[in-house]
Amino acid sequence: MAPKEAREEKAKDKTKEKAKEKGREAKSRRSASAADRFLHVLLGAAVAVAALLIALVHTVKLVRRRARARGVAEEEAPSWVVSERAILLTLCAAVGLVLGASALLSIGKRLAAQWSARREAAAARAAAAERERERAAQRDTEKVVRSGRREDFLERDAASRRRQAEFEAVLRREVEEARRKEWEAAEAAARERAEELARAQREAARIDEEVRRAERARCEAEESDEWQMGAYEEEEGEEGGGEGEVEEEGGGEWDARVYEVGDDEQGGERAERMPLEVKPSASGTRVRLESLAVAPAAMARAEALWAALACSRCSEQTELVLSGLFADAAQKKSWCAKCGALLSAALRPCTLCDGFDVAGYIDTINCVVVDVPRLSVLMQCGRCDAELRLPELLRGRTVQAGCRGCHAPLSLHMSNVQLSVLGVLGSKAARGGADDDDEMEQLLKKLRKKNLDQFKTLGLVIGKPLPNKGTCRHYSHSYRWLRFPCCGRAHPCAVCHAASDCPAADQGVWANRMLCGKCSRELPYSDTPCPHCGNTFAKPGGAHWQGGAGCRDQQTLSCKDSRKHKGTSASGAKKTSSAKALRVGVQGKRLTAAKAAAKAAP
């Protein structure tokens, strides 16, 4: 039998037992109520008979009293009058009979009820025993079924475990085979690399031997030419012949293998290199490599230099890559991401060798050089004059490579990069003269000078709102004008600035000042309300009380609000805020570099 069917049978048996018990209880209640009603009727009848007898006795007593009152003798009384004693005895006997009969009846009914209850209990016990036997048989059946299912499960589990063990064994064999193949492949690759290295060493030895033989042959040829020339001159002198012009022959060509270095910015094409100045002018920012050690008889020059520049206005840092090979990539310009100033830097490279450790000079405009984090060097071999690009030069590291022409070892080492401001090209004093050399900066300066009277030209009055409250067709909820530092003109938005005649509009310059759309006062760019008129320049979008439309005064704010006492002490004074972010981290490094640059500037 299935477990579900067994549970259903058990539920049906329990329901039947409950119904039978309810029926027996109802039957016993009905029999008990019938016996109680009969007993009550019997007692009522006995009480009625007793009441009649008592009334009869009183009637007889009244009759006898009246007879005595008439003086009639007791013997002359009517014969039908019974004495009071007889009446009382009769009454007591009748009452006793009634009570005895009722008691016997009640006892008999109780005995009958007990006998029926015992018979029903015996029947219930027999039924319970029968049900228990059925349940025991059912449990035995279920136990047999469960044991069979358990055996089936154990068999399936054992089969699954066997299959898993077989699969793991196959997988281990495959992994071992794959590892063995990888090990064999690695060994084969190592052998190939060793063979290639041996071949390369043999080839290098052969080339060195050829170079030495060529050098010896050249030396021998030079000695032979000198001897022949001397003998020829002696013969000519002895013969006294005409003056003959003797052409000196060379003793062999210089075996120089030059490694062509392509420039990535030129797309692999050969471009005209920037010449190195023999005596460069000591101005701008000098880039000096401390503890420079170059291979003997070798020279080097900066191929690419990564310069970290700090804006002279806002100290925002910008990184530019300056080329030391090509003139068109040696000067780079960029706009400051914070204040929009035009930054410019130009590299004038120098020759690096033993005794001269200056990599070059950087001329800056509107900025100062704060660091040179990376440097790429191009070295020229002292034996065959071949050029080779060395790996990226780092502080305290030695970079080494082999010459592609003669396989001579080339090395370069430096401990640190020292920056020294020598001239005034990067300072604020000569910034105006340097800006005059730049056409765009000169044009922007003219525009800024021309736009100084924009207030009078547009008829703006401080204290009165701007036209359309500072809005435009691009941004209808921005109640301000933005003043851009490139041209010095105020526009409602960046789109309007891009559509203007400003030559630097397409450079993405950010505005650093603005005009309030309600009072026309100029103030630094910020999203906070205007300090003069309280105008909000954009719709508040925050969920806090500063961004909502409710109360913002802490004095009138509800005490239940968490921002009632935020930022104030018990005395009402404003709490001090931590300035650690300005001393450590990226911002602290920037401020420290800006201060150092400001101190270094004359």
The predicted structure's pLDDT at residue 405? 83
On whether both 415 and 462 belong to a single domain, the answer is: no
Cα 75 from chain centroid (whole Å): 134
Q: Which amino acid, 73?
A: A
* Buried-exposed string 575-599: b where 16+ CB fall within 10 A, e elsewhere: eeeeeeeeeeeeeeebeebbeebee
DSSP state of 516: E
CA angle 539, 540, 541 (to 5 degrees): 110
CA distance 360 to 288: 7
On whether both 310 and 374 belong to a single domain, the answer is: yes
The predicted structure's pLDDT at residue 260? 40
- For 478, the 3-state DSSP assignment is coil
On whether both 297 and 353 belong to a single domain, the answer is: yes
Rg of the chain (C-alpha set): 61
Structure tokens at 66: 């009246």
Q: Which amino acid, 547?
A: G
Structure tokens at 522: 């100029």
On whether both 385 and 282 belong to a single domain, the answer is: yes
Residue reference for tokens 């056409």: 439
CA distance 47 to 44: 5
Q: 485 lies in a domain?
A: yes
Cα 481 from chain centroid (whole Å): 37
On whether both 64 and 145 belong to a single domain, the answer is: yes
CA distance 148 to 143: 8
On whether both 334 and 414 belong to a single domain, the answer is: yes
The predicted structure's pLDDT at residue 345? 92
Q: 348 lies in a domain?
A: yes
Structure tokens at 571: 């005395």
- For 343, the 3-state DSSP assignment is strand
CB-based contacts of 471, cutoff 8 Å, min separation 6: 477, 478, 479, 492, 517
Q: 214 lies in a domain?
A: no
* Residue where a domain terminates, one of 143, 168, 193: 168
* Residue where a domain terminates, one of 140, 168, 196: 168
On whether both 371 and 402 belong to a single domain, the answer is: yes
CB-based contacts of 104, cutoff 8 Å, min separation 6: none
**Widest pairwise Cα distance in the chain:** 231
Q: What is the pTM of this model?
A: 0.34
Q: Which amino acid, 29?
A: R
Q: Residue 462: which domain range?
A: 451-539
The predicted structure's pLDDT at residue 155? 92
Torsion of CA 225, 226, 230, 231, to 10 degrees: -40
Strand order in the sheet with 358-365: 331-335, 342-349, 358-365, 285-290, 416-421
DSSP state of 393: B
On whether both 472 and 528 belong to a single domain, the answer is: yes
Structure tokens at 601: 């500037």
Q: 101 lies in a domain?
A: yes
Structure tokens at 32: 């008990």
Kindly tell me the burial class for residue 182, based on how many C-beta atoms sit within 10 Å of its own C-beta (0-12, 13-18, 19 or more).
Answer: exposed
- Regions in the chain scoring below 50 on pLDDT: 225-270, 424-437, 543, 546-549
Kindly tell me the burial class for residue 564, based on how many C-beta atoms sit within 10 Å of its own C-beta (0-12, 13-18, 19 or more).
Answer: middle
On whether both 27 and 164 belong to a single domain, the answer is: yes
On whether both 52 and 132 belong to a single domain, the answer is: yes
DSSP state of 316: -
- With CA atoms as reference, report the closest residue to 563 among 552, 573, 574: 552
* Buried-exposed string 17-37: b where 16+ CB fall within 10 A, e elsewhere: eeeeeeebeeeeeeeeeebee
User: Around Cβ 59, how many Cβ atoms within 10 Å?
Assistant: 10
Number of domains in the chain: 3
String of DSSP letters for 29-53: HHHHHHHHHHHHHHHHHHHHHHHHH
The predicted structure's pLDDT at residue 426? 40
| Residue pLDDT, tens place only, 30-87 | 766 666 677 777 777 777 777 777 777 777 777 767 766 665 555 555 555 556 666 6
Q: 219 lies in a domain?
A: no
Contact 395, 341 (CB under 8 A): no
Q: What's the N-to-C CA distance of the chain in angstroms? A: 105
On whether both 420 and 461 belong to a single domain, the answer is: no
Q: 296 lies in a domain?
A: yes
On whether both 67 and 136 belong to a single domain, the answer is: yes
Q: 122 lies in a domain?
A: yes
Residue reference for tokens 């019974």: 82
- For 529, the 3-state DSSP assignment is coil
* Residue where a domain terminates, one of 153, 168, 183: 168
Alpha-helical regions (H) of 482-574: 494-498
Cα 153 from chain centroid (whole Å): 47
CA distance 386 to 380: 6
Contact 598, 428 (CB under 8 A): no
Q: 87 lies in a domain?
A: yes
**8-12 long-range contacts, CB within 8 A, separation 24+:** 9/138, 10/135
